[in-house]
Amino acid sequence: MTSSRPSARALAYQILDRTEAAQSYANLTLNAYLNRSSLPPLEKKLCTRLVYGVIEKKICLDWRISKLASRPIESLDAECRILLRLGLYQLLFMDKIPAHAAVNETVALASKKKKGLINAILRSQMRLADKADEWLAREDPMTRLSVRTNLPVPLLELLQKTYRDEELLDMARAFDEDPGLTLRIQTEKTDPASYLEQLKNAGLKAEPCPHSSCGIKVEQTNPAALPGFEDGYFFVQDEASQLCVEAVGAKRGMYVIDTCACPGSKSFGMALCMENTGTVLSMDLHENKLSLVKDGALRLGLNCLQIRAHDGRKPDPTLKGCADRVLCDVPCSGFGILSKKPEIRHKDVKECGNLPSIQLQILEAGATYVKPGGSLVYSTCTVLPRENQEVVEAFLKRHSEFSPEPFTVGGLSSDERGMLQLLPHIHHTDGFFLAKLTRTI
């Protein structure tokens, strides 16, 4: 592929090509490419939308390409697949881009031998746009739902055990929305109202979070470019995660353990709840990732964190019964953060089959650290009951020393079992689960 000049589309192609080849998360590649790029801000914004949009709508785009090309998309090489997705995404989902510009700019990126094919297929879309409903009507019900939701059939079959088709559609639409950025304000350095004013003065669209008193939603941008980043005025944290921290209920002088801490936002939030007193022990299996926690704590000016590597599945006998609060934010399938990491929707659901046993191990190990009268919070960023309610229920059957602790955070209340499932189409947060338990003995 060649390009006569750098452009948002050319950069989007490179990022999508690199991401697909490496089977990696696009956000890391996108940030790296944008940081090295000399594109003006509006072009960077276009590039970002193209990258995430193509990944989010990949199932719908590939289905249409197969119909327009009259052959399976797998029969096309990587260059054709990615450029056709880019062009088709602009034609279908970007009203402000004229159709001729979407086609011509995409074809211009193609290598000489591929220009004719890409041009023909994209122009077929312009000619046959009204045929899509007719084509879709001929598909089987599950394929139709997959194309409408941009969720693969195996994931749909898994979600349908809990969510009806219309609710799946609502959830999928929420996953396709631009998530923007959600910030948690470092309240020892500034306050939400003052920082919101700073953002607006910088020309950014921003508003307070509806449920978290310390949260601000701002349009998608590079966090490091926001005012006050170097001074530690904020850190990135979804509102659901902020509510999880609130549920923990950490207070001044407490000893708190975060068993799976990376990248650190919940540890930072709990430290702020404790007014930077007491101790937050931030542990994680991957020592190389703990630098994120160390660097973040330093930038934010939080010195009550102790950081060390530890396998959360294995109880540390030296910590037995020492903690006022324990948070187990366990590794999960991630099927609640598809708007932030759209690649997750294409994950093989079979790879998630062993997660509940790992999650239960971590929860049981974390439980050993809780002192009598202390609290244990379990959380995930998924919407699957087998990783959420069922794990907590299995734990309670084996541990009579713990009982559910109903709670209310940000005006949202758990059920009587101390469990709260947040859903993107209802609460406008990540898909997130939390449960709170108290050690009674």
User: pLDDT grade, residue 5 (50/70/90)?
Assistant: very low
User: pLDDT grade, residue 176 (50/70/90)?
Assistant: confident
pLDDT mean across residues, the chain? 94
β-strands 255-258, 234-236: how paired? Answer: unpaired
Full DSSP string of 381-430: S---GGGTHHHHHHHHHH-TTEEE---EETTEE--TTSEEEE-HHHHSS-
Query: pTM (2 decimals)?
Result: 0.92
User: pLDDT grade, residue 349 (50/70/90)?
Assistant: very high
Q: For residue 3, what pLDDT is reported?
A: 43
For the stretch 180-191, pLDDT in tens is: 999 999 999 999
Average confidence (pLDDT) over 80-87: 97
Q: How many CB atoms lie within 10 A of CB 353?
A: 11
Phi, psi of 79 (to 5 degrees): -60, -50
Q: For residue 418, what pLDDT is reported?
A: 98
User: pLDDT grade, residue 4 (50/70/90)?
Assistant: very low
Active-site residues, by number, are 381
Report the range out of 26-30, 160-164, 165-169, 256-260 with the highest average pLDDT. Answer: 256-260
For the stretch 259-299, pLDDT in tens is: 999 999 999 999 999 999 999 999 999 889 999 999 999 99
Judge whether 247 and 376 are in contact, CB under 8 Å.
Answer: no
Specify the DSSP element, H or E, that contains 165.
helix 165-175
% pLDDT > 90, the chain: 87
Closest by CA position to 271, among listed 288, 286, 253: 253
What is the residue type of 284? D
User: pLDDT grade, residue 25 (50/70/90)?
Assistant: confident
Average confidence (pLDDT) over 86-99: 94
Closest by CA position to 150, among listed 343, 397, 299: 343
% pLDDT > 70, the chain: 99
Q: For residue 177, what pLDDT is reported?
A: 87
Report the range out of 30-44, 63-77, 142-156, 309-323 with the highest average pLDDT. Answer: 309-323
Phi, psi of 393 (to 5 degrees): -65, -40
Hey, what domains does the chain have and what are their CATH numbers? 8-138 (1.10.940.10), 181-236 (3.30.70.1170), 239-439 (3.40.50.150)
β-strands 370-380, 279-284: how paired? Answer: unpaired
Question: C-alpha dihedral over 114, 120, 123, 124, to 10 degrees?
Answer: -130
Question: C-alpha dihedral over 389, 241, 305, 27, to 10 degrees?
Answer: 110
